[in-house]
Amino acid sequence: MQKIILGEWKDGEKIPSENELCKKFKVSRQTVRVALKNLEIDGFIKRIRGRGTFISDNHRKREYTGTVGIIVQNLNSYIFPMITLGAEKELSENGYNILLGNANENPQKEAQIIKRWFLEGVNGMIVDPVYSATDQCNKNLIREISKTIPVVIINSDIGVDSAGNLILNDYECGQRAAEEFLKNNHKKLAVLYKAIHEPAQRRKDGFVDYLRGEKIGFIIEQPFYEPEESGIAVKLSNSILSLPVRQRPTGIFCINDSIALQTEMAMRKIGLRIPENLSLISFDDSTFASLLNFSTFVHPKEEFGKRAVKMLLRMMIGGKPEKEKIKIKFIDRCSLKKL
């Protein structure tokens, strides 16, 4: 019904009333109403009070030309909805439908979605792979798919040359975090990181490598292998905070804001505060990181999604797979204490 309406009237022309459309095409009022509502949401038509409903002047540019699938690790996370929002805006402006897949941090589920979309004939995919630092990563599947349709891998670099790759400068951010702690005279430090996630590994490596290069010997590396939503970071923070004061780090680098929030919760429960009792640096600059004044690295999120789509679209018109690493800024707030 939507295509019929768009094909019947030209740009800027007024569309007949719902009753007239029902009579003209011999369909129910509900069918017409749903079609008009969807066309309005997608920007193909516009309603002007007192005048009626018109075909948008630019609707031809918005006609859908294909479908792109975007699969993320976990839609419940604070970061992925913003990435997909940016991607959706860019795809819509370029005339593409979007399929959204939630791997729920499960490589088997991720593989099922990728295979199904491929068989259904999507024009391209954007994938943020789960378990990207492990042998359970769907690296081989993604490589095979990317030899047939354009694929962009985001956040993780899993070494698939046939796919595009958009990542952050995670290693350099880890180095910068270490530098900031040392500037504030912290010599006893810890890092909490998700060991199954390749970006987290890079951030941890940059942090530890820099500290070792500066001859810092007191470094607690605390990996975990579970989703952040399990509350694992609270338990690990408790184990660090329960150490005798002389053996306790004065600063901690949390690989993302979810871990930082759980660390802050563990501290609050035993009467400790940031930065009076422990300095903290986080990553992502989510809303709660801003509210809690965490010093953090700023993941561009929505802009990141847009850039991933632009990379994919260039590949879809014949461009070669691109590799791009985005440099991001550090915000120094109130979670770093000078010793």
* CA–CA gap between residue 169 and residue 202 (Å, rounded): 9
* CA–CA gap between residue 281 and residue 199 (Å, rounded): 16
User: Domains along the chain?
Assistant: 2-61 (1.10.10.10), 64-167+301-326 (3.40.50.2300), 170-299 (3.40.50.2300)
Contact 236, 192 (CB under 8 A): yes
Question: Between β-strands 14-15 and 52-55, what pairing exists: parallel, antiparallel or unpaired?
Answer: antiparallel
Mark 70-97 as b/e (b = at least 16 C-beta within 10 Å): bbbbbeebbbbebbbebbbebbbebebb
- Whole-number percent of the chain with pLDDT over 90: 69
Please say if the pLDDT value at position 20 is more than 90. Answer: no
Q: What is the pLDDT of residue 43?
A: 74
Q: What is the pLDDT of residue 4?
A: 67
State pTM to two decimals: 0.80
Query: Residues 294-300: what's their mean pLDDT?
Result: 95
Amino acid at 289: A
Phi first, then psi: what are they for 118, rounded to 5°?
-60, -45
* CA–CA gap between residue 280 and residue 263 (Å, rounded): 9
Please say if the pLDDT value at position 164 is more than 90. Answer: yes
**pLDDT tens digits, residue range 213-245?**
999 999 999 999 988 888 899 999 999 999 998
